[in-house]
Amino acid sequence: MGLADIATLSPIEAERIVKQNRGRDICLGGLLRLGAGAAAVLARHDKGLSFPALTDISAEAAEAISLHRGSLRFGCVALLSEVVADALSRHQGPELVFGAGIDLGDSMQMSAEAANRLSAYRGLRLTLNALRSLSDDVALALSQYKGSLDLNRVKTLSDEAARALAHHKGRQLSLDGLDTLSDSAASALAAYDGWLSLRGVRNISSASAEPLRANPDVEIPGGHETQYCPNEARVLVSASKFLLHSFFDILSLPLILYGFWVQLLDPTAVAVILLPRNAWLPLYALVWMIVTAALLFWAYTCTLSLCERFEAAFYVSRRVRSREP
């Protein structure tokens, strides 16, 4: 039985799937129910997880899956409750998606409070393509999210919602599902301080379209076409610099440790040179161990940060290369 045929999942079966798919994304295309036990096992997977057929998720399962560190993609969850939104906002991966992998017939329902809790998510990208309509209160709540925000299936946008999204705290906003923009909404979005995608807009007055088309950070029919948005370019550049610096830091670490050992922190040498009677030998040994432990901890944190930046850079570069036309 393939992954697409699995409708329910036990923790034992989840363990088997994780072991067989190490290093690869897992897509459970037929899964209709996710229990907390299976979610806890899947959360240990090192790559992306997709649940395109899942229309409901319990608070317990959401809490368990939030520990996952890869991209997390759901289909059209019918109702995103406040409790579930709060749990998923603690997801530790770079991307959280609602509306992935299926032709959406229904719109996800979400209250303003649920949107407010979800906006606390700290990942790089929040994709809510399961939302077909956007109330003013939900738009205001989502504008507080500090990463890239995708709302590509929202068909209409009120002037008030446009003004709220224009103050989005992230640096990238995608509204490719919009076909029509009023003059007031267009004026508000033109003031957005970041990269804005309006690729689906066809019905807009010439006067309102002109400032949008003249802005190099706005993608709109008849305007500029950009390959990299400014935010993604900044992430890639900073990550590249960090990788270079960390590479030389890690290369120099063995030499630093060797120098401390041979010339400064060898407890026997220090005791013999400074204290012939070796009265303080245990103290020097303790100092040597503490400093060595501190250096090893520094190497560990440097390597961990290096891995996190490398993962972020790889994720963003992959998103840029696979951007839909």
b/e per residue 60-89 (b: at least 16 CB within 10 A):
bbbbbbbebbbbbbbbbbeebbbebbbbbb
Domain that includes residue 280, residue range: 233-321
Which 3-state string (H, E, C) describes 30-62? CCCCCCHHHHHHHCCCCCCEEECCCCCCCHHHH
Per-residue pLDDT of the chain (325 residues), as tens digits, is: 567 778 888 999 999 999 999 888 999 988 889 999 999 999 999 899 999 888 889 999 999 999 999 999 998 788 899 999 999 999 988 999 998 765 555 678 899 999 999 999 999 999 998 888 899 999 999 999 999 999 999 989 999 999 999 999 888 999 999 999 999 999 999 989 889 999 999 888 888 888 888 888 888 886 544 444 444 444 444 445 555 555 555 555 555 555 555 545 455 554 444 444 555 556 666 776 787 777 777 766 666 656 655 555 555 554 444 444 3
Q: Which of 193, 226, 259 is the last residue of a domain?
A: 226
Q: Residue type for 124, please?
A: L
One domain, residues 240 and 220:
no
Last residue of a domain, one of 226, 245, 280: 226
Say whether both 259 and 199 belong to one domain: no
Distance CA 17, CA 6 (A): 11
Rg from Cα positions in the chain: 25
Helices 230-259 & 281-321 angle (0-180, nearest 10)? 160
Please tell me whether residues 211 and 257 are part of one structural domain. no
Instruction: Give yes or no: residues 183 and 113 share one domain.
Output: yes
- pLDDT attached to residue 307: 61
pTM confidence score:
0.69
Look at the chain and report how many structural domains it folds into.
Answer: 2
Residue where a domain stops, chosen among 226, 253, 268: 226
Residue 221 and residue 244 in one domain: no
Check whether residue 240 and residue 125 sit in a common domain: no
What is the enclosing helix (H) or strand (E) of 214? helix 206-214
| Same domain assignment for residues 122 and 206 | yes
**pLDDT at position 136:** 95
Instruction: Looking at the structure, tell me whether residues 7 and 132 fall in a common domain.
Output: yes
178/77 same-domain check: yes
Residue type, 8: T
DSSP of 76-97, one letter per residue? --SEE-HHHHHHHTT--SSEEE
CATH of the domain at 90: 3.80.10.10
Same domain, 221 and 259: no
* Structure letter (DSSP) for residue 203: B
Are 17 and 145 contained in the same domain? yes
Same domain assignment for residues 181 and 158: yes
Q: What is the pLDDT of residue 228?
A: 41
| Model pLDDT, residue 257 | 55
